[in-house]
Amino acid sequence: MYDAFRKVLFQLDPERAHHMGLKGLNLLAGLGLAKVLNPCVWDEPVECMGLTFPNLIGLAAGLDKDGKYIDAMGCLGFGFIEVGTVTPRPQSGNPKPRLFRLKEHQAIINRMGFNNEGIDALVDRVEKRKYKGMLGVNIGKNKLTPNEEAVNDYLTCLQKAYPVADYIAVNISSPNTPGLRALQGAEEIKKLLGRLKEEQAALEQQHGVYRPLTVKIAPDLETEAVEEIGNIVREVGMDGVIATNTTVSREAVSGHIYAEEAGGLSGAPVREASTQVVRTLSRVLGNEFPVIGVGGILKGQDAKEKLDAGATLIQVYSGFIYRGPELLNEIQMACS
């Protein structure tokens, strides 16, 4: 059923198809038919960051930026869903076109630019969700906020998301907000994460509940830089790391008509680099700090590779676009 659906959508402009597909899923969910797409929901709980995830398969941030499709996506069997990236103020993102399919490579290039309706609109929707799995909120900074003031944007989003999220992810690795990746430098990341951890402690006291705090990093970092980030994560006491975001490398898609398009490349070409970051982080952090593996999971064996590299949970995005709910079933069979 999804194959036929995808063939129709892939005839359309990628961004238009994205919105039409999600609206279609919402319609099916409203009619009580969404489970037809994946009737075999995987129930194998995983304990991570003090939370109980119904299963280890998550939907990565970016697909549902504004939390409009949480319940519909939940019907497909995801153990956790991450919404966002969200910013303090609404922003339209980068000019179109900004989304490109590289079908021959099972890949996507996007330069969306944190287009979203703002944290207040997201919180309102998240509060109304019926989905019973774990819900993460991925937070970022507005494009016009200079890096030296970025902490204020992250603090605003953390404060507003804290009461309604199960965990919060700090996105400092998107290549589509100018200068954002500079926050991954040792001095910058230590200062930012340290301040967010202080606020997390204050919010725990205020709300009487502990919400884990994770950080999402890029696949393009040198091994030494990944090790350094791992040591900082340990030092400041982050609850986990999401590895990884999209890549700016075009080596794997060289010669493709869209290879020179600016933006982050996701899908099959990022699999190996992402897995290597997972492996490095797991070596540095051991079992104390979980790693969520994401990047290039197009089949069940790809997910198992992430787990074998040390990931506790995995997330999918581009693989889900290309494979649909069938991918979730493959992952279940490969990782059970």
Rounded-to-integer distance, Cα 290 and Cα 280, Å: 12
Contacts of 57 (CB under 8 A, 6+ apart): 42, 77, 78, 79, 80, 303, 313, 314, 315, 316, 328, 331, 332
Q: Which residues contact 151 (CB under 8 A, 6 or more apart)?
A: 191, 192, 195, 196
Catalytic-labelled residue, pool 174, 266, 282, 318: 174
> For residues 38 and 89, is the Cβ–Cβ distance under 8 A?
no
Q: Is 266 a catalytic residue?
A: no
Give the whole-angstrom CA distance, residue 328 versus residue 333: 9
Determine the Cα–Cα distance for residues 82 and 238; give it in Å rounded to an integer: 18
Please give the helix or strand (H or E) that residue 301 lies within, else none: helix 300-308
Query: In terms of Cα–Cα distance, which of 68, 97, 63 is closest to 82?
Result: 63
Catalytic amino acids?
Answer: 174
